[in-house]
Amino acid sequence: MSRKSEIEDLLSTFEENWTSESISQFNLSDSKIHSWKSEDLEYLVSELIGIDFELRLKISGQVGELKELFPFIQFYSDYFSAYIDTRKLTLLLLSEAIRDAKYSERKYNFRPYINEFRDELNEIQKSIDNEYQNEFEPQRSSLEAHSNPINANEFNAKWSCYKLKQLIGTGSHAKVYYAIDSETGEHVAVKFMRKQFHNHATRIEAFISEAQTLKKFHHENVINIQGLGQVPNGGYFIVLDWIPGRSLHEQLESQEFISEYQIRQWAQQICQGLQHIHRQGIIHCDLKPANILLNDDRRILITDFGFAKYLKDDVRQAIGIQGTVNFMAPEQIDPQRGLISPATDIYAVGVILYLFLTKRLPFIGETFEEIALEKLSSESIADPRKLNSNISESIASICMKCLHIKPSLRFSTVDELYKAIISYNQDDMKIKTE
- Give the tens place of pLDDT for each residue, 138-175: 444 344 444 444 554 566 888 888 888 777 776 767 88
Q: In the predicted model, what is the mean pLDDT of the chain? A: 83
pLDDT at 187 over 80: yes
Q: What's at 203, amino acid-wise?
A: R
Decide if domain 152-241 falls under CATH 3.30.200.20: yes
pLDDT at 177 over 90: no
C-alpha to C-alpha distance for 89 and 50, rounded to whole angstroms = 10
Q: 128 versus 95: which is more confidently predicted?
A: 95
C-alpha to C-alpha distance for 305 and 323, rounded to whole angstroms = 10
pLDDT at 154: 62
Mean pLDDT calculated for residue range 296-323 = 74
Mean pLDDT calculated for residue range 353-375 = 87
Q: 366 versus 282: which is more confidently predicted?
A: 282
Q: Are 127 and 91 in contact (CB under 8 A)?
A: no
Domain range list for the chain? 3-144, 152-241, 246-423
pLDDT at 16: 61
pLDDT at 255: 80
pLDDT at 432: 42
Q: Are 241 and 300 in contact (CB under 8 A)?
A: no
pLDDT at 140: 42
C-alpha to C-alpha distance for 11 and 33, rounded to whole angstroms = 13
Apex 14 CA angle, 12 and 15, nearest 5: 65
C-alpha to C-alpha distance for 377 and 355, rounded to whole angstroms = 20
| pLDDT tens digits for range 212-249 | 899 999 999 999 999 999 887 668 899 999 998 888 98
Q: Are 16 and 176 in contact (CB under 8 A)?
A: no
Q: 1 versus 277: which is more confidently predicted?
A: 277
pLDDT at 307 over 80: yes
Residue 296's contacts (CB-CB under 8 Å, 6 or more residues apart) are 244, 245
What is the CATH topology of the domain spanning 246-423? Transferase(Phosphotransferase); domain 1 (1.10.510)
Q: What's at 260, amino acid-wise?
A: E
C-alpha to C-alpha distance for 421 and 395, rounded to whole angstroms = 7
* DSSP annotation string for 264-323: HHHHHHHHHHHHHHHHTTEE-S---GGGEEEETTS-EEE---TT-EETTS--S-SSS--S
| pLDDT tens digits for range 2-25 | 787 778 778 877 776 677 788 888
- The pTM score is 0.67
pLDDT at 138: 41
Ramachandran angles phi, psi of 30, nearest 5°: -50, 135
pLDDT at 133: 57
pLDDT at 326 over 60: yes
Mean pLDDT calculated for residue range 384-388 = 94
pLDDT at 426: 43
From 345, 350, 327, select the one nearest 421 (Cα to Cα): 350
Mean pLDDT calculated for residue range 104-131 = 83
pLDDT at 251 over 80: yes
Q: What's at 75, amino acid-wise?
A: F
- 369 Cα distance to chain centroid: 22
Q: 247 versus 324: which is more confidently predicted?
A: 247
Alpha helices in 304-432 (DSSP H): 330-333, 342-358, 368-377, 393-402, 414-423
Local structure of 123: helix, strand or coil: helix
